Structures are given as structure tokens and as C-alpha cells.
């Protein structure tokens, strides 16, 4: 074998080895990609919903309210307002103290307290002021002045949600604060035809809810707000089928922006 032909043979062998190595790497990448896809958490999996509930719970608050003739701090303390059961829930949307809830949760109250989840940096209830209310949309924007930055929830695009999508609600049904319930979106753009009001096209879900969930968030599997829980349908014949309705996040964001502008 000549030096030239030997060099050619060794070069060809090197190319074959390189090609085999590249092919092995490429096949490994494909195999790893398939494995990653196979082991990824599917939407609505128990693990993903547990994560969403953990994220959402940090931004969900309870709303306590009353009408007191004397609204001084001493009178509020004497009334024991901070120890009462929540009349509804809310969700923190700004780490500096912005909170969204339903208008009917705060209606008639001249003293409002916000109670934060256990384990949060803000362990004591804070008095809230009403930035603005939209009774037609049944939304209210509140503000508190926290001692520390709060955990704020992120908004989801409610226009992209579809029936069958998993969702969770967090609130205070019958005063049981921090209660998590799970279900799926049953319908979108639901018109409840409220007389004398501009109708909101609600998100309908089968998430079990009760009085005390009002104003609390409806989260998607990523722990983002898709809606603000507002209504529960209770049939006279005692049907046990949950019919819950939430104000879509897109509507809530528009209302919040308008209330902010009006308050300036």
C-alpha cells in the first residue's frame, strides 16, 4: 500500500467513525427528546394541579367586612372584626398591595380587612381601601399597604381557554379559608341574562363552589388567573351538579385598568 492510498484509507476510516459518532449522538438526542416528552407532566395531571394550587394559594386572600358606626382602629379591634369568618375571597394582582374581588363581597361595608394565607410574610390582617367598584361587572379593586412585598398572581388569556380545560378555585366557602377545589371548564361566553345590568359573558365550570368563594380566583393548570369567581347556580330541586361562573380574566383586566384610571 502506498503512502497516498494509506492516507486515503485512514481518512475514509476517520470519516466513517465520525459519521457513526454523529449518528449515535443524533439518535441519542431523538431518544432523549422522546423521553422528555413522555415524562413531561400532561395538562391537568395531579402533579401540575398541585403545583398550580401551591402557587395560587400564596396570592389568594380572604375578605372580612362590616359596617361600623365607629371605624376607628380601637372600635375595629373591639368589634373583633379580624377574627370573623370571611365574607368572600380576593386575589393579589400587585405586589405593592392591589387586590381584586367581587363588588358584592364589599357591598355595604365601610370597614374591610384582608387576611393573608398562613405562612405568608404578611401574617396580620390589613385594612383595605376601595379604589373603585364596577357593579355591572361585579368587580372591585382594593388596596392594602403591606409591610412586605406580596405574592402577586399572573393573569392568563381567558380568550384562549376551551371547554374541558382543567381549572382550580381557591376561596373561603362557608368561611373555610384556603379551600382548593378542582374541575374543568364547562362552557365559555355564558350569558346569565341579568336584568338591568350589562351582562358579562361568564366562564362556566364544574368546580364545586359555595358562598365565600366569591371574589376568589379561578386558576389554570399553570397557576394563572383565568377568571374571578362570581356566581354559583343553585337549583331549587337540589341538584348536586356544580354550576359555577367566573368573570373572565380579560374582562377583569379591562375593568381594573379603568378603575385605576378613574382613581387617579
- Catalytically active residues are 104, 138, 214
Q: What is the DSSP string of 116-175?
A: PPTTSS--S-EEEEEEEEETTTTEEEEE---SS---PPPB--GGG--TT-EEEEEE-GGG
CA angle, 218 as apex, 161 and 212 as ends, to 5°?
150
Instruction: Give the residues across from 202 on adjacent strands.
Output: 190
Q: What angle do CA 36, 41, 44 make, to 5 degrees?
A: 155
Instruction: Measure the CA–CA gap between 66 and 87, rounded to whole angstroms.
Output: 9
Which single residue is written with the C-alpha cell 373561603? 172
Cα 115 from chain centre: 17
What is the Cα–Cα distance from 202 to 187, expressed in whole angstroms? 8
- Distance (Å, rounded) from C-alpha 193 to C-alpha 191? 5
- Percent helix / strand / coil, the chain, rounded to 5: 30, 30, 40
Nearest to 86 by CA among 151, 173, 146, 152: 173
Torsion angle (degrees, nearest 10) of CA 99, 103, 105, 108: 120
Neighbours of 243 (CB within 10 A): 18
Amino acid at each position: 500500500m502506498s503512502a497516498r492510498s494509506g492516507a486515503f484509507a485512514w481518512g475514509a476510516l476517520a470519516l466513517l467513525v465520525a459519521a457513526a459518532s454523529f449518528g449515535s449522538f443524533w439518535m441519542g438526542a431523538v431518544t432523549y427528546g422522546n423521553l422528555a416528552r413522555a415524562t413531561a407532566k400532561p395538562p391537568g395531571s395531579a402533579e401540575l394541579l398541585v403545583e398550580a394550587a401551591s402557587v395560587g394559594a400564596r396570592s389568594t386572600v380572604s375578605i372580612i367586612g362590616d359596617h361600623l358606626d365607629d371605624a376607628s382602629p380601637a372600635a375595629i379591634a373591639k368589634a373583633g372584626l379580624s377574627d370573623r369568618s370571611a365574607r368572600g375571597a380576593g386575589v393579589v394582582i400587585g405586589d405593592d398591595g392591589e387586590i381584586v374581588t367581587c363588588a358584592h363581597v364589599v357591598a355595604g361595608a365601610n370597614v374591610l380587612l384582608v387576611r393573608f394565607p398562613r405562612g405568608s410574610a404578611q401574617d396580620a390582617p390589613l385594612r383595605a381601601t376601595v379604589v373603585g367598584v364596577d357593579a355591572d361587572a361585579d368587580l372591585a379593586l382594593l388596596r392594602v399597604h403591606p409591610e412586605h412585598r406580596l405574592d402577586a398572581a399572573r393573569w392568563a388569556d381567558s380568550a384562549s381557554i376551551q371547554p374541558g380545560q382543567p381549572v382550580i378555585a381557591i376561596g373561603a366557602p362557608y368561611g373555610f379559608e384556603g379551600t382548593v377545589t378542582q374541575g374543568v371548564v364547562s362552557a365559555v361566553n355564558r350569558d346569565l341574562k341579568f336584568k338591568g345590568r350589562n351582562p358579562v359573558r361568564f366562564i362556566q365550570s364544574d368546580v364545586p363552589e359555595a358562598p365565600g368563594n366569591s371574589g376568589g380566583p379561578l386558576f389554570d393548570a399553570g397557576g394563572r388567573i383565568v377568571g374571578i369567581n362570581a356566581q354559583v347556580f343553585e337549583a331549587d330541586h337540589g341538584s348536586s351538579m356544580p354550576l359555577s361562573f367566573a368573570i373572565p380574566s380579560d374582562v377583569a383586566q379591562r375593568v381594573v385598568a379603568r378603575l385605576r384610571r378613574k382613581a387617579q
